A and B are shown apart, each in its own frame.
Chain A
């Protein structure tokens, strides 16, 4: 596993200790280890390859710092590059008022829970949020959102007699206006990126309500499919951000790197538990360390 990446890199680069520079040749084995490590963190195959190539370019020619092992130094270079990539873009939400946010994603990724979490967070920031139930398929999806809305004292809109999702969205805007809400979050049904009908539905919803933010909610443990998912949702909906959920587990979250590389869309929030308070603004350095399965090495190298 990846805990040993530093060791493995250390081994691969052993004969480099105290010698001079990192070069193409002495890096080859080390980069193979890096690639394997990224793959076992669920980073997409192609993304892992591109990333490794870029890191190689950065490593070559660098002097090996005397006080750390070359393995640690390479890890630091990788880590910094990861932080840079993951951290591109802003975690800020649009400043529009009313602020309209749409949540989309695969089944069970955490959209409904994150809708309530985000509502709670924005309420704390001074908004008057209303959450709109646009999942007309999953049994009790509307109840779930309603219970959470009541619990967090958020405005709530649903139409239990309608299956017309775009129309529900529009009605929710009117309801929000009446209730003087200045932030509307649309919870949508889970859908596969290859389900053309449901993608069409959510595109129509987007066209009708004109959201300022379209956030893709992704399970932090998602595998290689992340790339297909991100590509299709982004093409169909022009995503403005990502929410990475269930990071209270021990998944390494490599899918986030894949999605970031494919779409360029910023990661804005992370979910860290089932409770509505378990929600944080995204920190790229934490996720980078997580993907690499370590933390100390970086600070160690930093001090050196």
Chain B
């Protein structure tokens, strides 16, 4: 556990240091007072926690302060972390399971399929291959990069993976995923720009099935949630896949740019309405943003968070951990 936290914290270090720097006086040995409460409010807002979560954390700390005027910064930080733990309870996507940490127990496959009981695994795995993971989201959020990183991670873990280049719209989107596939030696099914994205998904599924691959990862074109015709295109991809396997795509992940503000909550709501999200990946948290919007999204939708993107390299995709996130945000060490 400690090792994992350390790794997480390294990736998240700028985030940690930036928020911790702001609140060092506050979360150190110092006693809480009106001024430090003001600083805390600022730190929470600037972490993109939004009005609701900020108000909630502040209220709890103020309540504790009302009871105990000698409340120390460290205790306030603990309270804040506790609120995050409570709000985020249940938010860890189970892909974080053992296999992705290199232990390779069967429960990972189970977890991936959303079936938590081990006995069903063996049969289910053969029957339902490939498991389809679709990456969706607004423009530039990190879908293509995440598809490549995830493919690499699964491959490291001994799984077989096919990528499907279903962004047939954006200039060089196909070339981008192809280039990743080549670099990471991943199998890819692609057509050309302008091709029917649902047809590529269909081909991808057939190829993955014929080759008995464990996973099919589908990269889709970026689309703003406000464009209903583009949302319809996603539905079409889904319908086509379901001709093969009614449960596909088993995973429908929204890839969210962690540096965005409150609009990401709106994005998540609309994608959820149209596509029934099963998971989130929050990217670009190697910057100084604290990705507080993920808390807002989880509050609203209760869709689990599987991974955080902490850089542009394949290994920069890390399992989401509530504990690590809560501690990192409040500068608490384990």
Contact = CB atoms under 8 A, between A and B. Distances in A.
B272 to A, nearest CB: 15
Nearest to B17: A194
A250 interface: yes
Interface in A249-274: 249-252, 254-255, 274
B195 interface: no
Given A140-B175, A140-B176, A144-B172, A250 B263 contact: yes
Given A40-B51, A143-B172, A223-B259, A108 B141 contact: yes
B53 interface: no
A108 B137 CA distance: 12
Q: Which of A110, A144, A148 has the most CB of B within 10 A?
A: A144
A257 to B, nearest CB: 12
A138 interface: yes
Contact of A219 (B183, B257, B287, B293): B257
B176 A252 contact: no
Interface in B305-324: 312
B48 A224 contact: yes
Contact of B261 (A46, A146, A194, A221): A221
Interface string B262-291: 111011000000000000000010111100
Interface residues of B, number: 49
B260 A219 contact: yes
Interface footprint category on A: 35 or more
Nearest to B144: A139
B289 A249 contact: no
Say what secondary structure dominates the interface of chain A: loop
Interface of B: 14, 18, 41-42, 45-48, 50-51, 138-142, 169-173, 175-176, 178-180, 183, 193, 222, 224-227, 257, 259-264, 266-267, 284, 286-289, 292-293, 312
Given A192-B287, A225-B288, 16 more contacts: A39-B45, A42-B48, A45-B46, A106-B287, A107-B140, A108-B257, A139-B180, A144-B170, A221-B138, A221-B263, A246-B140, A248-B226, A249-B224, A251-B261, A251-B263, A274-B169
11 contacts: A42-B48, A45-B46, A139-B175, A144-B172, A222-B259, A223-B48, A223-B289, A224-B261, A248-B224, A249-B225, A274-B222
